[in-house]
A = this chain, B = another copy of it.
């Protein structure tokens, strides 16, 4: 299982989102592209992937690759899935998530609870420009990558992350958009430290 946690700091937590202006919805376009990068292969979906979108530290939308239907690559349709999940947010009660669409879940949650649960469940890998070169790190069996939207992690988030991170890894000399970093991470795992050749 590969997991990706992506933090949307300014995404609305109500479904009043215009699909004509995803950047205006707290840069929801960034999160849509992250979902695309995490799941899509050519003519296939990565079934062994789970994505958690942390929305403004209030709700978490979880995508399960093994159950997903209706996910298409374009930003607008992914935005519509997210809007549909927000529309069902009040059906989530306590620890029980709502499940508005196959493979899409929404529940109350924040960065701390999401990172702690994911870290208990796998090896937390922090992508960081000062980390170890990705090619020198043996890919863990159940990696959890934590990424931020167009903003850096807040100091509190960065601290929590460092506390729980098992590995700190660099994917190259340039800072990348979150969705591009996910693509590179997937490729790194696909090639298993390039031992597949």
A23-B77, A41-B177, A176-B187 known; 17 new pairs, CB 8 Å cut-off, are: A20-B76, A23-B72, A29-B73, A29-B75, A37-B180, A37-B183, A40-B177, A40-B180, A42-B176, A42-B177, A75-B76, A133-B197, A173-B196, A180-B183, A180-B187, A184-B184, A184-B187
Does the CB pair A42–B76 fall under 8 Å? no
Distance between Cα atoms of A45 and B184 in the complex (Å): 18
Complex copy number for this chain: 2
Binding site for B on A (CB under 8 A): 19-20, 22-23, 29-30, 33, 36-37, 40-44, 72-77, 133, 135-136, 171-177, 180, 183-184, 186-187, 190-191, 194, 196-197
Min CB gap A23→B, angstroms: 5
Distance between Cα atoms of A78 and B156 in the complex (Å): 35
Nearest B residue to A72, CB-CB? B23
Distance between Cα atoms of A23 and B36 in the complex (Å): 14
Nearest B residue to A74, CB-CB? B29
Distance between Cα atoms of A173 and B44 in the complex (Å): 13
Find the residue from A19, A23, A74, A133 having the highest chain B CB count within 10 A. A74
